[in-house]
Chain A
Amino acid sequence: MSPHTRAVEGWTLQPLTDFVREASVRLVLVLTPSGQVLAQSGFSRAVDVMSAAALAAAIVASTAELARQLKQPPFAALSHQGPKHGFFLATFMADRGTLAVLAVYDLDVSSLGLVQLFYEQLAADLKTASPKGAVQKQVLAADFERELTDSLNTLFGR
């Protein structure tokens, strides 16, 4: 198991570890559309996780709204490729609720095709592992900072 792969919710850990190994991705976040991080791989600083999660959640929200305005179902996945790195952002429904996966990969190590291929496996594995009948807890503003601190402590082993 990669020493840089950590999960706040344990059921996400094995599927994420498999995905990282098979798709050869550099960074991954599994998060809710509100930006709550369930697991991460490859990040070494809490502030990077916070920034990436906030930005990913914002992209999910803005593309969902764009789709709504076009009277379309929400976009399934978004891919963006630069000269050296690519990123892939996709959402799917699990018993835990809607989950988003953000993956960043090096173009000389992996490819969009590989990431898409193993993302499908990751989504299927997470759906299977997701706790059944779990009642989604509302994130209250009062609890937000404490929950964020607890999550970051778990993700970075403090």
Chain B
Amino acid sequence: MNKALDLITRVRGVRGAMLVSADDGLIVAEQLMEGIKGGAVAALAASLAGRLRRAMEAAGTGASVFWHLQAEQGALLVVPGRGGGGNAQGGILVVAVAEPDVNIGLVRLELLRAAEAVV
């Protein structure tokens, strides 16, 4: 798990990465820079994942594979592992907190690799 997180946090501009239990919003593993409230990010990202899953089910789009929330001072990137975004129960969310100018494509690739590695 730590190796999977290492590959994400090695990308320039990534301030932290976490594996989060999608069901209960608790941190499974983390590598975060100081100042990031990991517990809060995990709980709120998992809550958002559940609501997004329902929205996507309602829209008939199928399971989400990646989300990117861009803010003024940073970005939140999430890949739901198997069950975390598509299925009703279970699963792991791979979460990255990044600088606003991070290479999104590269982080996405590492998040997808991490999701494959941990599931």
B39 at the A interface (CB under 8 A): yes
Tell me the minimal C-beta distance from B1 to chain A in angstroms: 18
Q: Is the CB of B50 within 8 A of A108?
A: yes
Question: Secondary structure at chain B's binding surface: helix, strand, loop or mixed?
Answer: helix
Q: Is the CB of A114 within 8 A of B26?
A: no
- Contacts of A111 on B, CB cut-off 8 Å? 23-25, 43, 46-47, 50
Interface string of B2-36 (1 = CB under 8 A from A): 00000000000000000011011110000000000
Q: How large is the interface on A (under 10, 10 to 19, 20 to 34, 35 or more residues)?
A: 10 to 19
Q: Count A/B pairs, Cβ under 8 Å.
A: 37
Q: How large is the interface on B (under 10, 10 to 19, 20 to 34, 35 or more residues)?
A: 10 to 19
Q: Is the CB of A114 within 8 A of B44?
A: yes
Q: How distant is the Cα of A117 from the Cα of B47 in the complex, in angstroms?
A: 12
**Apart from A111-B47, A117-B43, 11 more pairs, CB < 8 Å:** A81-B24, A111-B24, A111-B25, A112-B25, A113-B21, A113-B24, A113-B39, A113-B42, A114-B25, A116-B39, A117-B40
